[in-house]
């Protein structure tokens, strides 16, 4: 075996592999950026490791994967709440975004990375403006990220007309190709803000570079009605007509779906990002996730941005995802805890096309893992580990976070950034917004 750089030991190892292997009093040996071995703690010598992370009897598990967010919107957290989606976007968010620049996006994304690392997220998928700055922030913070510049029919505060947006996307793909942490996707905003020719060109770039195509799809009744009035189809049916349904497509939200839509998504092997808290807050509705899962569609979890959630805590998202579908379906057996934990880990990795790298603890995969401190009143006693992770644990229970073999948080202390400096930078941005 390779020399052990870090031994994470003395905890229950929840692998989330194909068999949901669980090792009580286990350990994970890390060499470089990858998992060198996994097994009983007694099988590893602490003295043979360059550093030891003692889980203290807690849970050692894969880091959580946020399949859809807008990281730099931390700058606007709480700016415009309790509003309908189109009013929220057109009257508040788009005007606020008009004042953005790469520096502001970088600071907002750094704050998002701090929040995610502290609450156990090791990988996120981002759609926003000035995405090279988001990629730079994720790289600085040590986070795994899928980034893509938002594309739409009207001029962008970043690139101006859409042709420049395609050029910007191409430059992102070229710049970050082969990076150990950053992957670039092509990200048209939605069917209602992107004409068919824009969607077709975005799909062509995605196919030519074999990268994900990510967009908002069927998020609200209003969107569905608009698409039907223009194209005579549902949003998913319209995308099928345009020719963009494929295994590379990540459809975010998917709230308003027919049975035919679900069949189309399954046949094309489209992946879905479920964002229950955002959907609730904007009163978009309840996505038919149990029906998607029963049909064999791959579904992961996302938080959406900090203006429609208003946090990036994936533990909170798991809790909401499990409960909202029980009440919506009047069935307490749907969305069981094990299913939801897998949606937040390995299924999320599959959504983003990263399941060979991350999402589970397996020998040879990248060392993206977290340690949960269970010596807490609200986590005592523990009969079922999945139940606790979904219904009892929170982001504040994460004691350590490792990404790509690097400890980025230990004992609740961020190691890849100065949190006070990051928060001060965003507070300065907020002061400018208040003054406007």
109 and 164 assigned to the same domain: yes
33 and 145 assigned to the same domain: no
Q: Is residue 170 part of a domain?
A: yes
Give 173-220 pLDDT, tens digit per residue. 999 999 999 999 999 999 999 999 999 999 999 999 999 999 999 999
184 and 306 assigned to the same domain: yes
Residues 6+ apart with CB under 8 A from 92: 79, 80, 83
Structure tokens, 32: 């470089």
Residue 209 domain boundaries: 64-351
378 and 334 assigned to the same domain: no
Q: Is residue 434 part of a domain?
A: no
Mean local confidence (pLDDT), 144-148:
98
Q: Is residue 241 part of a domain?
A: yes
Structure confidence at residue 79 as a pLDDT band (50, 70, 90): confident
> What is residue 434's predicted lDDT score, i.e. its pLDDT?
84
312 and 409 assigned to the same domain: no
Q: Report the DSSP beta bridge partners of residue 150.
A: 187
Q: Is residue 339 part of a domain?
A: yes
Query: To which residue do tokens 């057996």 refer?
Result: 333
The pLDDT of residue 85 is above 80: no
340 and 198 assigned to the same domain: yes
246 and 135 assigned to the same domain: yes
The pLDDT of residue 80 is above 90: no
206 and 77 assigned to the same domain: yes
Q: Is residue 95 part of a domain?
A: yes
Assign residue 168 the CATH number of its domain. Answer: 3.20.20.140
User: Of 366, 238, 231, whose CA–CA distance to 251 is shortest?
Assistant: 238
176 and 27 assigned to the same domain: no
Assign residue 400 the CATH number of its domain. Answer: 2.30.40.10
Q: Lowest-confidence range among 14-18, 102-106, 279-283, 363-367? A: 279-283
> Is pTM, for the whole model, over 0.75?
yes
User: Of 151, 79, 31, whose CA–CA distance to 434 is shortest?
Assistant: 79
> What is residue 87's predicted lDDT score, i.e. its pLDDT?
87
**Beta-carbon count within 10 A of 353 CB:** 18
Q: Is residue 429 part of a domain?
A: no
**Beta-carbon count within 10 A of 82 CB:** 8
Phi and psi (nearest 5°) for 301?
A: -110, 145
What is the Cα–Cα distance from 91 to 64, expressed in whole angstroms? 33
Per the CB < 8 A criterion, the answer to whether 234 and 217 are in contact is: no
Helix (H, G, I), strand (E, B) or coil at 263: helix
403 and 303 assigned to the same domain: no
181 and 306 assigned to the same domain: yes
Give 157-174 pLDDT, tens digit per residue. 999 999 999 999 999 999
Number of domains in the chain: 2
Domain boundary among 298, 322, 351: 351
> What is residue 1's predicted lDDT score, i.e. its pLDDT?
65
212 and 310 assigned to the same domain: yes
């Amino acid at each position: 075996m390779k020399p052990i750089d870090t031994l994470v030991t003395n905890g229950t190892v929840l692998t989330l592999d194909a068999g949901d292997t669980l090792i009580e009093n286990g350990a994970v040996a890390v060499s470089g950026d990858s998992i060198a071995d996994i097994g009983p703690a007694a099988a590893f010598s602490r003295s043979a490791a360059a550093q030891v992370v003692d889980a203290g009897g807690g849970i050692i598990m894969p880091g959580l994967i946020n399949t859809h967010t807008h990281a730099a919107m931390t700058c606007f957290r709480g700016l415009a709440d309790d509003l309908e989606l189109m009013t929220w976007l057109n009257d508040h968010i788009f005007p606020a975004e008009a004042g953005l620049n790469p520096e502001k996006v970088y600071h907002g994304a750094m704050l998002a990375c701090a929040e995610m690392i502290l609450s156990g997220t090791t990988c996120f998928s981002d759609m926003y403006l000035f995405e090279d700055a988001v990629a730079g922030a994720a790289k600085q913070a040590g986070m795994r990220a899928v980034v893509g510049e938002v594309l739409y029919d009207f001029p962008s505060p970043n690139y101006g007309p859409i042709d420049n947006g395609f050029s910007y996307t191409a430059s992102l793909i070229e710049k970050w190709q082969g990076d150990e942490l950053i992957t670039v996707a092509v990200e048209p905003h939605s069917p209602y803000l992107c004409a068919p020719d824009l969607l077709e060109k975005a799909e062509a770039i995605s196919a030519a570079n074999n990268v994900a195509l990510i967009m908002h799809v069927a998020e609200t009744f209003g969107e569905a009605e608009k698409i039907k009035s223009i194209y005579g189809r549902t949003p998913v049916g319209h995308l099928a007509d345009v020719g963009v349904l494929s295994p590379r497509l990540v459809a975010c939200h998917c709230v308003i779906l027919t049975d035919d839509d679900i069949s189309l998504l399954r046949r094309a092997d489209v992946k879905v990002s479920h964002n229950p808290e955002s959907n609730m807050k904007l009163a978009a509705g309840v996505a038919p996730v149990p029906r998607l899962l029963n049909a064999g569609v791959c579904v992961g979890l996302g938080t959406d941005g900090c203006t429609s959630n208003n946090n990036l805590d994936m533990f909170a998202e798991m809790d909401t995802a499990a409960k909202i579908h029980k009440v919506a379906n009047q069935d307490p057996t749907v969305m069981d805890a094990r299913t939801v934990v897998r949606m937040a880990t390995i299924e999320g990795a599959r959504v983003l096309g990263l399941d060979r790298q991350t999402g589970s603890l397996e020998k040879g995969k990248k060392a993206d893992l977290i340690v949960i401190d269970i010596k807490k009143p609200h986590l005592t006693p523990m009969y079922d580990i999945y139940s606790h992770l979904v219904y009892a644990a929170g982001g504040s229970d994460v004691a350590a976070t490792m990404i790509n073999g690097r400890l980025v948080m230990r004992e609740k202390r961020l190691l890849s950034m100065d949190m006070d400096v990051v928060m001060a930078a965003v507070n300065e941005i907020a002061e400018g917004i208040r003054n406007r």
